[in-house]
A and B are shown apart, each in its own frame.
Chain A
């Protein structure tokens, strides 16, 4: 097992080319976190039930624990580390802070990623749409109230209707 041949993968992470070696059965979240030390992507269950490991794979929201790292070959991955641009927080990140929408913060990277995909798809979601879209992002601290408000508010900012 320890002698198992590793696979070489060429991929793009947060817009930059990236190469890594991994075991064929290693999941993407593990490779991001352990092999690449990109620990912003969290692991809460590794069975696709909590959403903490959410990343964007070729534009699609996925749980990186349910993707084999070898599948990343020639694909494009966006992780939490790439969301703030030029040192400026994304409106979703800013609004989560302003609304005090995180307590322990372990679910926050996943919430940021999932909300970004939502607001790019649907810039003006209803409260219900945000709640259903984020149903796969478990949060045990906040009761979701402030997270939902923050995402709705971030949508307004992105639409140019509210102050950032």
Chain B
């Protein structure tokens, strides 16, 4: 094993320096993906840059402009924030589904995104909540919509030396809510076979005025499914509309067959999840009113 170096910078500037100085650096946040990949010999970085000591990466604030979430904040901290849970129930349930209680103590919002697994639970939920990603790098800062962040399995848009610092998630409109569901064979501890997030807004008469649908584990990256959203908007989210959205999600998926499920199965189940998630989001709005 080649020798490994560890650095724990306390500022973004220091981090940038560390990353700049090494061609084979990996960022360590919660470590729940990186350390497993190192154990299994998939990755052998020369430098590990621990970003948890950088204040910007550990921020969690809920204000007028929405949720500002540092990329290294662990899932357990997000889940423990009652107001965030009320505001974005689907997003928080997606974060909470990542791994066991032990994993929750470490796994970070940004790490789940940067690892770029097509099955990452939080990504569809971030998409339907219109998250934007704040990136700092040698060329300055930039912001990328979450749906453009990942480019393929294990691949993201970060360029050499760039760090995902935080995410901004706007406040949901009134009479809105979201939900995330995933399918796994057990009740816990599995990687999603399929996942679906839905965010909805309803008017006073119960008609859907806005919808965003995203699906996971059924394509090289998590996907927005505009056709599924279209199927919901303007309806009262009756069975016919839900089934139409489900069919749109299945049609938009391009899953593979592997040890976790067949393509055919994933395609079918992702539709079921979209339908059920939409029904949950609707029920959440109705419960609030």
Chain A interfacial positions (CB closer than 8 Å to B): 1, 4-5, 7, 23-25, 27, 46-49, 51, 54, 57, 60-63, 65-68, 70-71, 73, 114, 117-118, 132-137
CB of B102 within 8 A of CB of A51, answer yes
Q: Can you name 30 A-B pairs with beta carbons within 8 Å?
A: A1-B1, A7-B6, A24-B4, A24-B6, A24-B48, A27-B35, A49-B189, A51-B100, A51-B102, A60-B106, A61-B104, A62-B105, A63-B100, A63-B102, A65-B39, A66-B102, A67-B31, A68-B28, A68-B35, A70-B6, A70-B8, A71-B28, A114-B102, A133-B101, A134-B101, A135-B189, A136-B102, A136-B103, A136-B188, A137-B100
CB of A132 within 8 A of CB of B6, answer no
Given A48, A57, A132, which contacts B99 in the complex, CB threshold below 8 Å? A48
- Number of B interface residues, CB 8 Å? 32
4 tightest CB-CB pairs across the interface, nearest first? Answer: A136-B100, A135-B188, A60-B105, A24-B6
CB of A118 within 8 A of CB of B101, answer yes
Min CB distance A107 to B, Å, is 13
CB of B188 within 8 A of CB of A132, answer yes
CB proximity to A under 8 Å, residues B156-203: 187-189
Q: A66-B31, A68-B31 are known contacts; what are 9 more A-B pairs with Cβ within 8 Å?
A: A24-B4, A24-B6, A48-B103, A51-B102, A65-B35, A66-B103, A68-B28, A114-B102, A136-B102
A23 to B6, CA, bound (A): 10
Supposing A117-B101, A135-B188, A136-B100 touch, asked if A4 and B106 sit within 8 A by C-beta, the answer is: no
Q: Does B36 contact A (CB under 8 A)?
A: yes
CB of B5 within 8 A of CB of A24, answer yes
**In the complex, what residues of B have CB within 8 A of residue A73's CB?**
8
A51 to B5, CA, bound (A): 27
Min CB distance A14 to B, Å, is 18
Closest to A56 in B: B105
**In the complex, what residues of A have CB within 8 A of residue B31's CB?**
66-68, 71
Min CB distance B21 to A, Å, is 16
A135 to B36, CA, bound (A): 19
Closest to A24 in B: B6
**In the complex, what residues of A have CB within 8 A of residue B1's CB?**
1, 25
CB of A54 within 8 A of CB of B6, answer no
**In the complex, what residues of B have CB within 8 A of residue A118's CB?**
101
A136 to B75, CA, bound (A): 15
Q: Does B216 contact A (CB under 8 A)?
A: no
Min CB distance A112 to B, Å, is 13
Min CB distance B205 to A, Å, is 36
Q: Does B82 contact A (CB under 8 A)?
A: no
CB proximity to A under 8 Å, residues B1-16: 1-6, 8
Q: Does B118 contact A (CB under 8 A)?
A: no
**In the complex, what residues of A have CB within 8 A of residue B30's CB?**
66
**In the complex, what residues of B have CB within 8 A of residue A23's CB?**
4
